[in-house]
A and B are shown apart, each in its own frame.
Chain A
Amino acid sequence: MINARDLPIKKILIGLVLFFALIFPILFGAQLYYLTVLILILIFIIYSSAWNFLTFSGQGSLGHAAFFGLGGYFCSLLVMKAGIPPLLTLPIGGLFTGVIGVLIGLTCVRLREWFLAMVTFGFAIIIQTLIVSQLAPITNGWDGFGVTKLVPSDFPNSLLIEYYLIFAISVITLLLFRYLLKSKIGLTLAAIRENELEAKASGINPIPFKLFSFGVSAFFAGVAGALEIFHFGYITPEIFGVDISFWPIIYTITGGLGTLAGPVIGTIVISLLWEGLNSFGLTYMRFVIIGILLILTIIFLPGGLVSIGGKLSKYWNKSPDSDKK
């Protein structure tokens, strides 16, 4: 696990990242482009962390866009039809997607990896179909509808306020995930993930815990979806797209699956790479590059970018206790 020696470095790093994230807008001025990129990174950090939380229980989802989109739709409908302010709808929308997540989880808890992935993928498509066909009178079908922004744009420095708001939300989210994983629940989830049979033998009923992680994961995916919609101010069924389901997976794998820092690092690195490649005008090439990067990461660096630090320190100071890993 974590070396005692590494701890201060880790804390310093986290502190630096937080400090930089706080001070960035002040340093570089509140430029629209940079702030938009940063806000989207924060939203996707919440989303990838939510996806990652599900894998802590040994379940992998290929259709998290279902929750992302449901959160977006439910919250924007609450705002537009019931007139509730956007910020207040976030927990309500999260709860709603959480409940749906538990319901979907009910069909999934008995399934194995591939089947689970298929079923979650299927749910994203089924929900999208519902939105564009039977629910079209409320959701306006494929055309979507406009939504109030999180912070009204006529506010002075609205984007800056939005950035700090979302920053606060993502920090709270990460702290909550950290708390959950350090608690007894986190240990139980790890036991189920490592060996479900042994977990059962030691008196753990895996089903409520699996459902719990489904619910929590769906809750935060829904919040992230709602935040994205409140940022763009418009919602269409594209939000259930296959891409939206795949992004958190790519971010998490590159960063480091099953670690708290993985989704954060992965989202930041891949998003910056993405924007960088975009500025060179590589529209399709960037997908190819990221695809190749993903394959290479899985083959040569299964622990993700997070594991680089550990590997390097092991390489540099070959002290006797570092071999214990």
Chain B
Amino acid sequence: MEGIITIISQVVFWGLYAGCIYILLATGLNLIFGVMKIVNFAHGEFLMLGTYITFSFFVLSGFNPYVLLCASLPILVVVGIITERLCFRPILGTGKLNEIFVSLGIIYVFQNVVAMLWTDEWKTIQSPYKDITISWGSVQVPLDYFIIIGITICILIGLYLFLHRTSLGRAIRATSQNRKGAMLMGINVEQMDMLTFGIGAGLAGAAGTLWAVSGQVFNPYMGSIPAIKGFAIIIIGGLGSIAGAIVGGLIIGLAENFTSFTLGGAWKDAVSFIILIIVLIVKPTGLFGGKDE
């Protein structure tokens, strides 16, 4: 009995930590969806770019990889802004499927530019704290997990404060609530689009750093699956709801780790889609998604 509880709490910690990365991705997707009403299927490429930026700076400078959040986040904000301006702005308001197709193009471009620059071999970096574990009752949890969970909470609180306490954040929220109304109030909604896309990409970049720091391997093609999972999370949590994204991220993170523990590692990716499909069969607009367009 003691053993089972230990294993379960171990799995819960893995789930929490995996959930953190998904929450960052899903929050970014959600912000973008809220403001622009588009879905960026290429979001995982920002995550992938974040891991590679962390990797390069780590190899070049040898800094503590957690410090490199200060590099990956701003760089990805800029990349996101450029991507929005060049690829998504021209197709805003055209067919609904176009954003999916544009994302496909972006996925191909990012993946292969990265593959050209860094080759497509699997890479990994080591966290300086990888050998330190903290005993919590009978559970051994790596210090990195605590740091990652802590950083995610800090980023989310920072985002919350930005969105609720600054005028720029309020402008973003206004645009997401009512685009035309925001325009009438003198908000430059196109700038808000760019900014939001940048923030979303930046969050994905931060997730990328956390991904790399936690010792997970990465290659140029690793982005798609986490991104699609991030998207599954916001469908489960309801489009546009940040709280839903957090709940969804935790659900997926936990479910993933419990299934790979019981059914085997092969089911790690498939389980999030099974949950997604079940949720959508029961409620086609998502668990917390009340309004249909």
Contact = CB atoms under 8 A, between A and B. Distances in A.
Contacts of B113: 284, 288
Contacts of B115: 284
B108 A132 contact: no
B105 A298 contact: yes
A295 B100 CA distance: 11
B266 interface: yes
A128 B273 CA distance: 12
Interface string B89-102: 01100111110111
B76 interface: no
Nearest to A60: B97
A119 B280 contact: yes
Interface string B36-71: 000101000000000000000000000000000000
Interface string A74-115: 000000000000000000000000000000000100111111
Contacts, number: 125
26 contacts: A107-B277, A110-B284, A111-B284, A114-B231, A114-B235, A115-B286, A118-B232, A121-B273, A122-B273, A126-B273, A129-B270, A130-B270, A133-B264, A249-B101, A249-B104, A253-B101, A284-B116, A288-B116, A291-B107, A292-B105, A292-B109, A294-B105, A295-B102, A295-B105, A295-B109, A298-B91
B266 A294 contact: no
Nearest to B266: A133
B273 A123 contact: yes
B112 A122 contact: no
B87 A295 contact: yes
Given A114-B96, A288-B108, A291-B104, 15 more contacts: A55-B97, A112-B293, A115-B235, A118-B235, A121-B273, A122-B273, A122-B276, A123-B273, A129-B267, A129-B270, A242-B224, A246-B104, A284-B112, A295-B87, A299-B91
Interface string B263-283: 110110110111011001100
Q: Binding site of A, secondary structure by majority: helix, strand, loop or mixed?
A: helix
A294 B267 contact: no
Q: Binding site of B, secondary structure by majority: helix, strand, loop or mixed?
A: helix
Nearest to A241: B221
Given A115-B235, A284-B116, A125 B107 contact: no
Interface in B141-196: none
Contacts of A246: 104, 107
Contact of B280 (A60, A115, A253): A115
A288 to B, nearest CB: 5
Contacts of A310: none
B25 interface: no
Contacts of A107: 277, 280-281
B270 A113 contact: no
A302 B107 CA distance: 19
Contact of B270 (A126, A250, A257, A295): A126
B266 A132 contact: yes
- Name the interface size band of chain B: 35 or more
A302 B116 contact: no
Contacts of A114: 39, 96, 100, 231, 235
A117 interface: yes
Interface of A: 55, 60, 62, 107, 110-115, 117-119, 121-123, 125-126, 128-130, 132-133, 242, 246, 249-250, 253, 257, 284-285, 287-288, 290-295, 298-299, 302
A295 B277 contact: no
A295 B101 CA distance: 8
Given A284-B112, A295-B102, A125 B273 contact: yes
A117 B100 contact: yes
A302 B102 CA distance: 11
B106 interface: yes
A27 B259 CA distance: 57
Identify which of A110, A284, A285 gathers the most chain B CB atoms within 10 Å of its CB: A284
A147 to B, nearest CB: 23
Contacts of B91: 298-299
A55 B273 CA distance: 22
A121 B105 contact: no
Nearest to B110: A291
A109 to B, nearest CB: 9
B276 A291 contact: no
A273 B225 CA distance: 28
A68 B281 CA distance: 24
A110 B235 CA distance: 15
